[in-house]
Amino acid sequence: MTELERAIRRLRRKHTVPRLVYRYVSGRPITGRDGYPYLSRGAGRLAGWQRQVIRLSVPATAALAVAQPEQVGSLVGSAALVAGWRARRRFTMRRFNREYVTPTLAALAPAMGLQTGVRLHVDPTLGNLTPRLAKPLSPAEVAVRAWYGERVEPVIRWLPDQAQRAAWAIQRKAEPVTSRLAVFRRPTDPDKGPRIELVADTPYLTKEQRHLVSSIIGSKIPVSDLVESWHQVGPRVTATWTVRKRPPARVGVDQVAEHLPRLAEWEFYIGQGAGDQPVILSLRDDSPHIAVSAGTGAGKSVLAELVAVQVLARGGRVVILDRKGSHRWALGLAGVDYCTRPAQMHDALVRLAALADERNTLALHEPEDWDCGPRVLVIAEELNATIGQLVNFWAEVRGKGDPKRSPAVSALADLLFMGRSAKVNVLAIAQMLTARAIGGPEARENFGIRCLARYTANNWKMLVPEAAMPRASRTLGRWQVVIGGQATEVQVAYLSAADARRLACPRSSGTSQVSGLSSPAGDFLTLRQAIDAGVIPWKLDAAKKRLQRKVGEVPTPRGKSGNADLYARADLARWAGSETGERISQ
């Protein structure tokens, strides 16, 4: 037997009747060659299951037409509707691919050094890609569509709408039963949604190639603010671009009141992140100090107010260094030292450094879990101007033999270096937090939590060069919180003055039993400080007797400084004036 005869016999054996029937029924190519996969389809080819459905449905339809001719019309009509819908969808996708996918692939293949083996999928529901393809309507077309929407579409949509409502009602009724079946369902990818997917038949792409691919995708497919991810494990490279999830547009006092009872003493809720997830800062785990840098009107004082309220609600103390009066909500609150003058700021910083040093000294002889006392939060507003004022103040009052550097600036640096164990935390606010504004580059490195809003490229590179810079948002209250080089977009909770005061003093009495340092020239004074400042005209023993006997408009204690009660300056002045008025009338 010749070689040719053997080849013919093998060919005849290959195309036997049972094999042809098997190929026809299973959806494989009739010729016997390797076809495309059963589930996925190739370029211009049907998938195996699609060929199988067509091959089996055509004979079945023909047999049904012979057996029951009266049902052929309904089947033909249904098939025509399906074919029309598929043709319209195919036409739309053909136009979509011609506009977006084909030109992008033509630009991508040379950029990656591949002439073949590049596949790109662009979801038509992504952004406004499909509406961009729509052509403007003429006035006649607008009128016809309006007439159709008012007269025809309500009639056509009535039955489907009723069926959908009935289905929803059945789902609500069956929910007690169907909810128990959730344990058998496999979890789905929460990030699954409209996306752009690129698959390249190459095991690796360099950083320059990936950057070039991203640039081409961004320029050829007009969808902004996408999140890019690359997967290069395996024989192929896969890239995905998904829509960035955004925080909610507004967060208010309800969310703050909801999360506040759940937090530890060192944790602080500041707002909601992407996917409406709460964002919580830890002054024990993340960083003992917070840097806030933003332009004018971005909400720096709102963020500081939110943290301060939580400190006060837990019995802590807040020292505010604010020359311009951005925190009027805190005036008169127990546990707040409001310093508005350079002299007050100077004295407060020096005393706070002494307090931190004392706490750290005591901690040496105490157990590991020893609590050194209430937390003290120092809010340093507008550091770009405050540091200069402190330096100028010290230059005016410095005496012979005093150090050249301002003790207040040195005290602020000491707090940044040793404040964590002493539970003295600094929240520094500046439009641009330069090293000069905080007292040196070493001091600035102590801010492990850095919050930025309405930032410029220079400001971002100066404060967080290790994190990729996202586009700045115009939404009021939208911040980027950077911890360990990871930026998190947050919608910071907004509190009105009334909400802040109510959360800061949850007790009806309005008093807060805290220990701390109160400025003699501040808004809260002890009796001795009030006598030294001339607020009340009596001696200390006489003032105590008047308090015991409740003579006049006796002031209510607002807090503690050591063992002495603190009183508001306005209350003391009113008390002194009321008793003087009573004596004159008598």
Per-residue pLDDT tens digits for 167-221: 999 999 998 888 888 788 777 666 677 889 999 888 888 888 888 999 999 889 8
Under 8 Å CB-to-CB from 196, ≥6 apart: which residues?
120, 121, 122, 123, 126, 217, 221, 223, 226, 240, 241, 242
| Residues 374 and 304 occupy one common structural domain | yes
Structure-token pair, residue 495: 């509190």
288 located within any domain = yes
Residues in a beta bridge with 480? 452, 489
Give the SS3 label for residue 160.
Answer: helix
Sheet holding 237-243, edge to edge: 118-122, 195-200, 237-243, 226-231
At residue 516, the pLDDT reads 40
At residue 163, the pLDDT reads 92
Per-residue pLDDT tens digits for 550-579: 888 888 887 666 567 778 777 888 888 765
pLDDT at 12 over 70: no
Residues in a beta bridge with 531? none
pLDDT at 586 over 50: no
At residue 89, the pLDDT reads 76
| Mean confidence (pLDDT) of the chain | 81
Under 8 Å CB-to-CB from 80, ≥6 apart: which residues?
none
Structure-token pair, residue 308: 């301060």
pLDDT class of 269 with cuts at 50, 70, 90? very high
Q: Return the sign of the alpha-carbon dihedral for residues 522, 525, 529, 531.
A: positive
* Domain termination site, one of 422, 438, 453: 453
pLDDT class of 44 with cuts at 50, 70, 90? low
Lowest average pLDDT, out of 27-31, 315-319, 478-482, goes to 27-31
| Residues 147 and 199 occupy one common structural domain | yes
**Residue 121: phi, psi to the nearest 5?**
-120, 125
103 located within any domain = yes
> How many whole angstroms separate alpha carbon 82 and alpha carbon 85?
5
Q: How far is CA 363 from the centre of its chain?
A: 37
pLDDT class of 164 with cuts at 50, 70, 90? very high
Query: Pick from 131, 111, 105: which is nearest to 222 by CA?
Result: 131
CA separation (Å) from 277 to 36, 229, 266, 489?
44, 21, 19, 11
Per-residue pLDDT tens digits for 400-415: 888 888 888 888 888 8
pLDDT at 524 over 80: no
Q: How many domains does the chain have?
A: 4
Range with top average pLDDT, 114-123, 167-176, 428-437: 167-176
pLDDT class of 508 with cuts at 50, 70, 90? very low
Per-residue pLDDT tens digits for 147-160: 998 988 888 889 98
At residue 557, the pLDDT reads 80
pLDDT class of 511 with cuts at 50, 70, 90? very low
Rg for the chain (alpha carbons), in Å? 37
Structure-token pair, residue 514: 């805290």
pLDDT class of 6 with cuts at 50, 70, 90? low
| Residues 437 and 388 occupy one common structural domain | yes
At residue 512, the pLDDT reads 36
Give the SS3 label for residue 280.
Answer: strand
489 located within any domain = no
| Residues 63 and 147 occupy one common structural domain | no
Instruction: Please give the share of the chain, as a percent, with pLDDT higher than 70.
Output: 85
Lowest average pLDDT, out of 47-56, 241-250, 307-316, 383-392, goes to 47-56
236 located within any domain = yes
At residue 510, the pLDDT reads 37
| Residues 11 and 108 occupy one common structural domain | no
283 located within any domain = yes
pLDDT class of 517 with cuts at 50, 70, 90? very low
Residue 552 falls in which region: left (phi positive, over 0), alpha (psi -120 to 50) or beta: left
| Residues 430 and 569 occupy one common structural domain | no
469 located within any domain = no
pLDDT class of 24 with cuts at 50, 70, 90? confident
Higher pLDDT, 134 or 379: 379
Residues in a beta bridge with 564? 561
Instruction: Please give the share of the chain, as a percent, with pLDDT higher than 90.
Output: 13
**Residue 441: phi, psi to the nearest 5?**
-65, -30
Sheet holding 376-380, edge to edge: 278-282, 267-272, 486-492, 478-483, 449-453, 290-294, 424-430, 376-380, 317-321, 336-339
Residue 313 falls in which region: left (phi positive, over 0), alpha (psi -120 to 50) or beta: alpha
Strands (DSSP E) found in 389-455? 424-430, 449-453
| Residues 212 and 300 occupy one common structural domain | no
Structure-token pair, residue 253: 């006092």
pLDDT at 307 over 50: yes
271 located within any domain = yes
Strands (DSSP E) found in 407-525? 424-430, 449-453, 478-483, 486-492, 524-525
Half-sphere exposure of 553 (CA within 13 A, CB side): 15
Query: Pick from 496, 503, 492: which is nearest to 278 by CA?
Result: 492
Task: Kindly state the DSSP code that residue 161 receives in the 8-state scheme.
Answer: H
pLDDT class of 25 with cuts at 50, 70, 90? confident
Residues in a beta bridge with 378? 319, 426
* Domain membership of residue 289 as a residue range: 263-453
* Domain termination site, one of 244, 273, 306: 244
| Residues 207 and 141 occupy one common structural domain | yes
| Residues 412 and 302 occupy one common structural domain | yes
* Domain termination site, one of 429, 453, 477: 453
| Residues 333 and 220 occupy one common structural domain | no
Residue 261: CB atoms within 10 Å = 7
> How many whole angstroms separate alpha carbon 221 and alpha carbon 442?
45
378 located within any domain = yes
Residue 582: CB atoms within 10 Å = 12
Per-residue pLDDT tens digits for 436-455: 767 667 777 788 899 999 88
On the 0-12 / 13-18 / 19+ scale of CB atoms within 10 A, 231 is: exposed
| Residues 418 and 285 occupy one common structural domain | yes
Q: What is the CATH number of the domain that holds 310?
A: 3.40.50.300
Mean pLDDT of the 362-367 span? 79
Per-residue pLDDT tens digits for 47-98: 777 888 888 877 877 777 777 766 666 666 677 777 777 777 777 788 888 8
pTM over 0.95: no
| Residues 18 and 111 occupy one common structural domain | no
On the 0-12 / 13-18 / 19+ scale of CB atoms within 10 A, 158 is: exposed
